[in-house]
Structure 1
């Protein structure tokens, strides 16, 4: 029996909603399915090479190895995970990781209230393959190293403090992080073909210097159902990797983006093109999307990677591969393309994040039109328009 048939039977047979929690407004017995986008069809590419729905416009905010417009700061190569932070003057800051070896780090672009660029600067340097990360409720950015024994660094988007290493959050091939202020934990994904899904439980919420690392546990073949958490004996991951220390740990095929909102933590796995939904209230794991569980040949979303969301409950999932799209998954269980970058098949879309007011979306093409493996042709974009708030 094909994987598609097996998985469909497993999910539908559960007989419960795949989408639970406040984000999902109605119950489903299956994962998101292709359907009409709430924004309509994509138009031909604009002057910046971006296909968007009617009413939306794009601009290029920065290009790797070139000065950010209006500043003297050279934008970093291979832009990856990112997030936005409000400033006290009505503006905001967009931070972006640099996924290159040894130099890595993260940079920031500060915007005025009218959207013009005020400044750009480095907030982290000298780290290794900084891939994704996550914002904290107290206004810092967690930048994660995607290497074996990788570290998490806490950074200050306004540049007011030097970045600080947070090794108590575990040493492994980090990808993304998402803070759960209700349970006062930080969820962490791991980019390995047999990676795990972790949570860091700090001793004091708001202080990530001390605490314990736990791993999600469930039967290996479980797709939906109850889960538990167990402590990782040795968070340093040497000589035994963290993902191999707890026999009951559930393994995921290439953990990528991570996003928390109102009781649900969504995370993606690239190896099987899935968006998972962990219901933190019920301690239950479900599927929000799986390209194997849609009619053959119709999956609009493949190569799932970074993920973000809106206050209204829409999820936006970027592709690493596929056809270079950001797809929207609505609370009604519809998945559809929101934007596309034609002619950039050798790149990947990274770092989707909304401005604090939800009216601007930032993202990058990590290797840009040339597909340069060093990321020196990366492009960071802004899209403005009538987003559903």
Structure 2
């Protein structure tokens, strides 16, 4: 039995994970394998240097160091993780700036119902290497510092309230955050080769003050069984959080995280895997592993799910600059490819609330420098049913 079938047998034999997004258990066959995209093959590169399926178009909504069209706001360097928030009949796209301290920040672009940009502004400044993060159910953005002594900050997409440091969520090399409203916890990834997978259990839930206090836990594995253990010292000094709990489950370079239907999906760049943590069953499965025949998704990074059918969109940090789709039928295929930017990475993938626009950034653009970052919008016939 080859590795692919061993992995699938292990997952299905355990009967552990409600996988396949909204699909029933019998449809599951992780890990996903290369196949035909539901959107068809990619066409030739368009005027923005992006290869897209038929019917899709792109536009540039912001460039680092340049004024966002229709506003007086200068877009930040090194755009990274992002998310969209409903704003009446329009929406707001927020984007991190992965700049060294004190130039880490978060910016926002506001769109009306016609996708016209109406304003742009900062929602948090004076931080360090804001990499990824995650939205909360109460419409704030958790921005995460990717440094060994990094914090999570809660920010306001509307730019009204000042950022607030959430010290109880731990001080470590943060990457992404994903909120689980059922268990009322926040999952956190750590960008270290020997990093942990954490969850923060706040003392309250449902408002922009909910995360002020709580308990940080890390996933551990003993005899194949998973459990959560409290981290004794969330300040991570002098002993890093990942070194405080015996039998911590190690993940090689935690990256993006996305929660849906009792499952937190997250990526690890060191071994090019996409994982599914089933919170209801307390089990793990490998959604995608590049050690399969014909593997095409490498450099896994930020990811997001679509608003309708449960497709995952995974951006590449490196690879061949693609955003790949992983379908509920366990097929992985390119959705788009950015050309002429081999020294960059793709990040900040996010859908607008209706699921009709996909946003992402090329962190270093054509220049290979953070000052060359480009933020894009993709429009087209995203599928609404299977």
Q: Which TM class, normalised by the smaller chain length?
A: over 0.9
Deviations 1:299-324 (A, max 9, x none): 12100000100132100000001100
Distance across 1 between alignment mates of 2:76 and 2:42: 30
Deviations 1:323-365 (A, max 9, x none): 0000000000000000000111100001000000000000000
Shift in alpha-carbon separation, 1:303–1:339, aligned structure 2, 3 A: same
Shift in alpha-carbon separation, 1:122–1:289, aligned structure 2, 3 A: same
Deviations 1:2-27 (A, max 9, x none): xx956763553454368624715143
Partner of 1:237: 236
Distance across 1 between alignment mates of 2:34 and 2:97: 33
In the TM superposition, what is the alpha-carbon distance from 1:227 to its structure 2 partner?
1.4
Unaligned runs of 5+ in 1: none
Partner of 2:255: 256
Instruction: Select which of 20, 23, 26 maps to 2:21.
Output: 23
Query: Helix, strand or coil: the match of 1:227?
Result: strand
Is the contact made by 1:60 and 1:379 (CA closer than 8 Å) also made in structure 2? yes
Deviations 1:58-78 (A, max 9, x none): 000000000001111110000
Is the contact made by 1:99 and 1:129 (CA closer than 8 Å) also made in structure 2? yes
Deviations 1:57-106 (A, max 9, x none): 00000000000011111100000000000112x01000000001011110
Partner of 1:199: 199
Shift in alpha-carbon separation, 1:328–1:231, aligned structure 2, 3 A: same
2:38 matched to 1:38?
yes
Alignment of 1:46-195 (within 5 A): 46-88=46-88, 90-102=89-101, 103-195=103-195
Unaligned runs of 5+ in 2: none
Which has the higher mean CA deviation after the structures are superposed, 6-15 or 225-234?
6-15
Is the contact made by 1:195 and 1:253 (CA closer than 8 Å) also made in structure 2? yes
Distance across 2 between alignment mates of 1:11 and 1:252: 20
Distance across 1 between alignment mates of 2:95 and 2:383: 24
Distance across 2 between alignment mates of 1:138 and 1:28: 32
* TM-score of the two chains, using structure 2 as the length reference: 0.94
In the TM superposition, what is the alpha-carbon distance from 1:145 to its structure 2 partner?
0.2
2:213 matched to 1:210?
yes
Shift in alpha-carbon separation, 1:240–1:105, aligned structure 2, 3 A: same
Distance across 2 between alignment mates of 1:381 and 1:14: 37
In the TM superposition, what is the alpha-carbon distance from 1:291 to its structure 2 partner?
0.6
In the TM superposition, what is the alpha-carbon distance from 1:388 to its structure 2 partner?
1.6
Deviations 1:137-185 (A, max 9, x none): 0000000000011000000000111111101100000000000000000
Distance across 1 between alignment mates of 2:211 and 2:49: 41
* TM-score of the two chains, using structure 1 as the length reference: 0.94
